[in-house]
Each structure stands twice: as C-alpha cells, then as structure tokens.
C-alpha cells in the first residue's frame, strides 16, 4: 500500500514511516505545508502533522485552527481510500472518571484540543457520507525513542538526571497519574489501524502504562542511578488527577504494547539521548 505520512520528520512520524516499511508498505513522507503544497496520490493517509503546544494555542488559536483543521480538510479532499488521524486524549478535557473509554464525552479545555476535536468530526462526517475508511487514534503520553521534547515528563526527568537540565517542575504532590506509551508501540497502532480500517469511522485510545509523577521520578532514579532535582509547584486548578486509557477496542484488533513498561520507557529514553 502506498501511504502518505504527514509530519513524517517528527518524533512520531519517523517511527510510523519505519513501521510502515517494516510491514511491507511504501511510505510517502510528506513534510510540506498541507494547506498549500500539492498532495500526491496515495492509497491511504496517516495524518500526523499538527501544531501541538497547549499554551501556545491560547496565544494563537487561529493558527491552530488553520493548520489542524484546514489542513485536515484539504487532505480529506484529496480522496484517499483510507485515512488515519492522530488525535489526542486532551479532547476528553479533565474528566471526573479515571479510566477513559472512547465513548467518554469530549470536553476540550484549550484551543489545541478543540482543533483536534474539530478534525475528528470532519473525518467522521466525511466517512459517514462516502466510501472512506477512517480511524482516529487518541494518543495519551508518548515517550521513549530518544524524544527531544523536554516538556514531556519522562523526557524532562531523564534530561535532569543527565545534568542537561537544572530541574523539573512538579505541580501538586506528585500523585497525578498519566498513561504512557512507547512511541514505537504507538507507531505500530497506526499501521494496524490503516491495515484494518473499514468504510466508516472508528476511534481508538492509544495508551499502555499508567504511572504517577512520583512513579516516573522513582523509575528514572532506579534506571539511571542519578538524582532528579524537583521544583515543587501548586497543582493546576481543574487538572485531572488521574487519566488512564481504556484500550480494549485497540487490543481487540490485535495490538499489544511491547515496549511500554515504565522502566523500559525510561531505559530506552536514557540510552537514546546518552
């Protein structure tokens, strides 16, 4: 299958391209401007390109809608037979429940999450009205694989342990729980979604290992043997205390995370950046 991958040079994109090729597909990396550049024909699209900074989205919401929504519409107009959209668990907002199924109401609390919810809707309605086979994958917290985004918890903690960063800010008492998944396990989910999608639209959560901030700090100390300097801050009001992915639907397709154990995530990130 000839598969167009937007955002192919990014953290997740590089891994998706690698997994596509390993599965025998022809990956067509697309790193241009999806709002303007010509979109080559393909059998399917994996759409990863997006603006993805929550705080930045408050400062420039129109840019986020332009790239994340308008770009998605343009790709849909290119009439691929299969379409896989990278979305985010942020569309759920700050839910009261701790384990999130795909049927949980979406309550985006920032412009970035709102644009992803809008992109999801565009994909869903397009698939409902025609022959498109489409999937939305709601990603929780990617980690491992030499990530360079120091805003991510595991990446920053490893950076502090390595002495590359002075300290990490922890908001609250460290008991907040998030769901982590190795970037390569996530990439495998994209390939599986592309291969198994049928006409219509399906949504799947992509997560693997729930862990608290304190758990992550302990794992980094255990794996690296180094201390992680912490700067404690008051908890953000309205922030979810626990966010865990129910991945029953995705596992029913045959997906299993094989690299997402917490210590393995830390070990992989530490080795890759060292």
- What does the pLDDT look like over 28-76, one tens digit per residue? 999 899 999 999 999 999 999 999 999 999 999 999 999 999 999 999 9
3-state secondary structure of 135: strand
**Contact indicator for 245, 179 with CB cutoff of 8 Å:** yes
First CA to last CA distance, the chain: 36
Per-residue pLDDT of 123-177, as tens digits, reads 999 999 889 999 999 999 999 999 999 999 999 999 999 999 999 999 999 999 9
Which of 254, 255, 271 is closest to 263 using CA atoms? 271
Domains and CATH numbers, the chain: 2-273 (3.40.50.720)
Distance CA 69, CA 212 (A): 32
Residue 105 half-sphere exposure toward CB, CA atoms < 13 A = 6
Q: Chain centroid to CA 195: how far?
A: 19
Q: Which single residue is written with the structure tokens 């190795």?
A: 182
pLDDT score recorded for residue 235: 87
Catalytic residue, chosen from 64, 92, 112, 204, is 112
- Cβ-in-10-Å burial (0-12, 13-18, 19+) of 218 comes to middle
Which token pair is 151?
A: 């805003």
Per-residue pLDDT of 109-119, as tens digits, reads 999 999 999 99
pLDDT class of 94 with cuts at 50, 70, 90: confident
- Cβ-in-10-Å burial (0-12, 13-18, 19+) of 171 comes to middle
Measured torsion, CA atoms of residues 194, 51, 145, 22, in degrees rounded to the nearest 10:
30
Q: Which single residue is written with the structure tokens 């608290």?
A: 212
242: DSSP letter: B
Which of 62, 24, 69, 26 is closest to 44 using CA atoms? 26
Whether residue 64 lies in the annotated active site: no
How would you list the strands of the sheet with 133-139, edge to edge? 26-30, 2-6, 44-47, 82-88, 133-139, 200-206
- Cβ-in-10-Å burial (0-12, 13-18, 19+) of 90 comes to buried
78: DSSP letter: T
């Amino acid at each position: 299958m000839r598969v167009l991958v937007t955002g192919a040079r990014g953290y997740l994109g590089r891994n998706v391209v690698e997994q596509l090729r390993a599965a025998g597909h022809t990956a067509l990396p697309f790193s241009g401007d999806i709002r303007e550049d010509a979109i080559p024909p393909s059998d399917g699209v994996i759409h990863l390109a997006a603006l993805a900074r929550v705080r930045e989205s408050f400062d420039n919401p129109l840019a986020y809608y332009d790239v994340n929504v308008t770009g998605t519409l343009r790709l849909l107009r290119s009439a691929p037979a299969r379409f896989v959209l990278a979305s985010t668990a942020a569309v759920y907002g700050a839910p009261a429940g701790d384990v999130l199924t795909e049927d949980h109401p979406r309550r985006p609390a920032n412009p970035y999450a709102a644009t992803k919810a809008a992109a999801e809707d565009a994909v869903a309605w397009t698939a409902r009205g025609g022959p498109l086979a489409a999937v939305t994958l709601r990603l929780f917290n990617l980690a491992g694989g030499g990530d360079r985004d120091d805003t991510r918890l595991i990446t920053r903690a490893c950076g502090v342990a390595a002495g590359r960063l002075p300290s990490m800010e922890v908001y609250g008492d460290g008991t907040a729980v998030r769901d982590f998944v190795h970037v390569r396990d996530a990439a495998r989910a994209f390939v599986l979604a592309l291969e198994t999608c049928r006409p219509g639209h399906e949504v799947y959560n992509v997560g693997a290992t729930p862990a608290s901030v304190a758990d992550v700090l302990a794992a980094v100390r255990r794996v690296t043997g180094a201390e992680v300097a912490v700067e404690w801050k008051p908890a953000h009001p309205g922030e979810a205390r626990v966010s865990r992915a129910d991945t029953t639907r995705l596992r029913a397709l045959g997906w299993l995370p094989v690299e997402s154990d917490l210590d393995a995530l830390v070990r992989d990130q530490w080795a890759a950046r060292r």
